[in-house]
Amino acid sequence: MAKPPTLADFVAAQVDPRGRSWCDTLPEDVRQQLIEVECSVAVAVRWLKGLGFDEATNSKVDNWRRRERSDRRPG
């Protein structure tokens, strides 16, 4: 019987090595609007679900938006 993987090995196999998140799979124009339009995360998630992205969640969008906005700040 094969030894089960450790949690660390399991997690390492699940993480995309490029650091992509769910939001990175959205169309470019949708991602741009998520960055540029000032609104709450809850509103953005409702909008995404209205577009058919049913797997959108507050944490997926919030974490991605914070990272992207931080990366785009000058300096």
Could you report the average pLDDT of every consecutive run of 10 residues in the chain (75 residues)? 82 64 93 95 97 96 90 71
- pLDDT for 20 equals 77
Query: From CA 49, how far away is CA 45, in angstroms rounded?
Result: 6
- pLDDT for 4 equals 85
- pLDDT for 73 equals 72
- pLDDT for 75 equals 59
Cα 71 from chain centroid? 14
Query: How many other C-beta atoms are found inside a 10 Å radius of the C-beta of residue 72?
Result: 8
Tokens 């992207």, residue located: 68
Predicted TM-score of the model (pTM):
0.71
